[in-house]
Chains A and B, each alone.
Chain A
Amino acid sequence: MSLSDKLSQQVSQVPRSGIRDFFELVQGRDDVISLGVGEPDFATPWHIREAVIYSLGQGKTSYTSNLGLPSLREAIGEHVRNEFGVGYDAESEIIVTVGVSEALDLAFRALLNPGDEVVYHEPCYVSYSPSIVMAYGKAVPVATRAKNRFALMAADVEAALTDRTKVLVLNFPTNPTGGVMSETELAKVAKLCIERDLIVVSDEIYSELRYAPERAHPTIIQQPGMRERTVFLHGFSKAFAMTGFRLGYACAPAELTEAMMKIHQYSMLCAPISSQVAAIEALENGAASVEKMRLAYERRRSMVLHRLETMGIPCYAPGGTFYVFPDIRGTGLTSREFAVKLLEEENVAVVPGDAFGPSGEGFVRCCFGANPDDLKVAMERMSAFVDRTC
């Protein structure tokens, strides 16, 4: 019996992930140095792990409120107020989720009717388009460019809008480009969103990982009139090196939070209590650990940019994240050819840029959240590869 005609059309029309294809190529090879990961090489800071071990000893193993532990929501509210200057009510405007991925899904499912259009910038995190499609929306990509620091230009957004556009997705700093938005650029986008009555879903997961000279992270919720039309998504995976805890949150006006909560309560019930305990410890005592890791990334970023420059590979100096997105068009290879040959000839894994959308073609994503010794060897191997290829 063939099951293919039984499957949901929404799911069937989502293509296989390019990342997954490449993962299968890499898997099974020995001694690969991987710059293909989307996570830090640090283990979660010990004080956070220890708090979880203690909580298990105390028997904290139950369900929590659907929205998440009240003390965690209080801590999140305080954190967002202190870091971003915008207040949310812990009882009605904050929901704790299983990673930002779930929060994103909740936001789309809470907002979209079949055929509603969602504009997002590309190259981007791989799940935006599929999540929109699986929520019965229409995904409308807008390309960002290296010459604009991979920032989103309001004029490009405007050109993509139709009468059916309901939502704009932002993710700055951006995975995979490291792109950032200045306050001026954000203000133009905000003005457009208000004029065209759009809701913004802003994934701010990399916001702590900003580098000199622009350490401050401006966000769309700080723009006048935007808090009431934005779903602010954040989590613990990147800055706190807590990827496996799968913990994120959404802050949004009460009506929207309530709608997301309806889906969350029936599909997820609540985020795991141990991860919520970890998140409380992270927010209360984790600032020093975050800064220590950020400094380490900043140094690795500097090293990688210098090596790429020496190789003659153009690369935008990322304003945030732990990725560089070098332009490999000068090698005459496509991004997939570059990644496959680099893997086969030098045993170094990077992710082809087209895995992050067609506008990523001509680029590859390298994670500098890797171990510094590995990073150094990977850069030496890449340099040898580029010398041979060009």
Chain B
Amino acid sequence: MDPLLELLIQDAKLTNAELGEQLGLEEGEVCARIAGWEKDGTILGYQAVVDPEKAGNHGVTSVIDVKITPERDGGFDRLAERIAKFDQVSSCFLMSGGYDLAVIVEGVDLRDVARFVAEKLATLEGVISTTTHFQLKVYKLNGFLARGGDQAERLPVTP
């Protein structure tokens, strides 16, 4: 992967000047490359990674295993894309193994998610079955430990 993209994935808050400084690139070059990725869809967006508990978000997150019937033209894509478009769906993946789609659904409470599954997801033509798992506690999110990393004490001056 491009080192600039790798660095952005680690920390999207860095300014173009800071990114350039760390990679030995001119600020203008950084700006142009990022604009290119934003335009061609390589960069899908920017987000803060937030611990929901600390943020006071009492909503629920669920992982739903979905079995669907592939279509003769297009396989799983048409139905998967249709599911992904719902606002409640934060992520959607085609999976190998015992089911086809892993759908991450955010809701205000259990009933909200249940209603979405019962009324929207399960009723779609081609959906064979759903299994819903509710997330109970976050330990690590997008590479960040919820209780912080390792802060070792170090001597201030060592050889």
Interface residue ranges, A against B (CB under 8 Å): 17, 19, 22-23, 26-27, 32, 34, 36-39, 41, 43, 125-127, 175, 295, 299-300, 302-303, 306-307, 349, 351, 376
Contacts and interface: CB of A to CB of B under 8 A. Distances in A.
Contacts of A39: 154, 158
Interface of A is mostly: mixed
A126 B159 contact: yes
Contacts of B159: 17, 19, 38, 125-127, 175
Nearest to A243: B158
Interface stretch (B18-26, B56-64, B119-127): B18-26
A43 B152 contact: yes
Contact of A26 (B7, B22, B157): B157
Interface of B: 3, 6-7, 18, 21-24, 149-150, 152, 154-159
A36 B22 contact: no
Contacts of A19: 157-159
Given A125-B159, A127-B159, A300 B22 contact: yes
Given A302-B24, A303-B18, A306-B21, A37 B158 contact: yes
B26 to A, nearest CB: 11
B56 to A, nearest CB: 26
B22 A303 contact: yes
A306 B18 CA distance: 10
B157 A22 contact: yes
Given A175-B159, A351-B157, 9 more contacts: A17-B159, A32-B156, A34-B157, A37-B155, A37-B158, A39-B158, A43-B149, A295-B3, A302-B21
Contacts of A32: 156
Contacts of B156: 23, 26-27, 32, 34, 36-37, 349
Contacts of A175: 159
Contacts of A27: 156
12 contacts: A19-B158, A22-B157, A23-B155, A36-B156, A37-B157, A38-B158, A125-B159, A126-B159, A299-B23, A300-B22, A351-B157, A376-B18
